[in-house]
Amino acid sequence: MDYTVYYYNKTILITGAAGFIGAALVKKVCEENPEAKVIGLDSVNDYYDVRLKEYRLENLTKFKNFIFVRGNLADKKVVENLFKEYHPDIVVNLAAQAGVRYSIEHPDVYIEANLIGFYNILEACRHYTPEHLVYASSSSVYGGNKKVPFAVDDKVDNPVSLYAATKKSNELLAHAYSKLYNIPSTGLRFFTVYGPAGRPDMAYFGFTNKLIKGEKIQIFNYGNCKRDFTYIDDIVEGVMRVMAKAPQKRDGEDGLPLAPYAIYNIGNSNPENLLDFVQILQEELIRAKVLPEDYDFDAHKELVAMQPGDVPVTYADTSALEKDFGFRPHTKLRDGLRKFAEWYKEFYG
Q: Are strands 230-231 and 193-194 parallel, antiparallel or unpaired?
A: parallel
User: Please, where are the H alpha helices in the chain?
Assistant: 20-32, 50-60, 76-86, 100-105, 107-110, 117-128, 162-181, 203-212, 232-243, 274-287, 319-325, 333-348
C-alpha torsion sign, points 60, 66, 70, 73: negative
Amino acid 3: pLDDT? 63
| Residue-by-residue pLDDT tens, the chain, 349 positions | 446 777 889 999 999 999 999 999 999 999 999 999 999 999 999 999 999 999 999 999 999 999 999 999 999 999 999 999 999 999 999 999 998 888 989 999 999 999 999 999 999 999 999 999 999 999 999 998 889 999 999 999 999 999 999 999 999 999 999 999 999 999 999 999 999 999 999 999 999 999 999 999 999 888 888 999 999 999 999 999 999 999 999 999 998 889 999 999 999 999 999 999 999 999 999 999 999 999 999 999 999 988 887 788 899 999 999 999 999 999 999 999 999 999 999 999 8
**Distance between CA atoms of residues 203 and 278, nearest Å:** 9
Burial class of residue 238 in the structure, from the number of CB atoms within 10 Å of its CB (0-12 exposed, 13-18 middle, 19+ buried)? buried
Beta-carbon neighbour count of residue 81 at 10 Å? 14
The answer to whether 289 and 252 are in contact (CB under 8 A) is no
Q: What are the backbone dihedrals phi and psi of residue 306, each rounded to the nearest 5 degrees, phi first?
A: -65, 145
What pLDDT is recorded for position 234? 98
CB 220 within 8 A of CB 304: yes
Q: What's the alpha-carbon Rg for the chain, to the nearest Å?
A: 20
Is 322 in contact with 328 (CB distance < 8 Å)? yes
In our burial notation (b when 16+ CB lie closer than 10 A, e otherwise), range 31-70 reads: eebeebbbbbbbbbeebbeeebbeebbeebeebebbbbbe
For residue 19, give the DSSP letter: S
Query: What 3-state class would DSSP assign to 106?
Result: coil
Residues labelled as active-site residues: 163
- pLDDT digits 0-9 by tens, 144-173: 888 999 999 999 999 999 999 999 999 999
User: Is-contact 33 6, C-beta < 8 A?
Assistant: yes
Domains of the chain: 11-198+229-269+313-330 (3.40.50.720)
CA-to-CA dists, residue 321 to 240, 257, 259, 318, 331, angstroms: 12, 24, 19, 5, 16
Summarised one tens digit per residue, pLDDT across range 39-88 is 999 999 999 999 999 999 999 999 999 999 999 999 999 999 999 999 99
Alpha carbon distances (Å) from 156 to 92, 125, 171, 189, 230: 23, 26, 11, 12, 21
Give the predicted TM-score (pTM) of the model: 0.96
The Cα–Cα gap between 83 and 137 comes to 22
Q: Dihedrals φ, ψ of 79, to 5°? A: -65, -45
In order of 1, 65, 241, 253, 285, the CA distances from 339 in angstroms are 15, 28, 24, 52, 10
Residue 157 per-residue DSSP state: -
Residue-level pLDDT at 256: 87
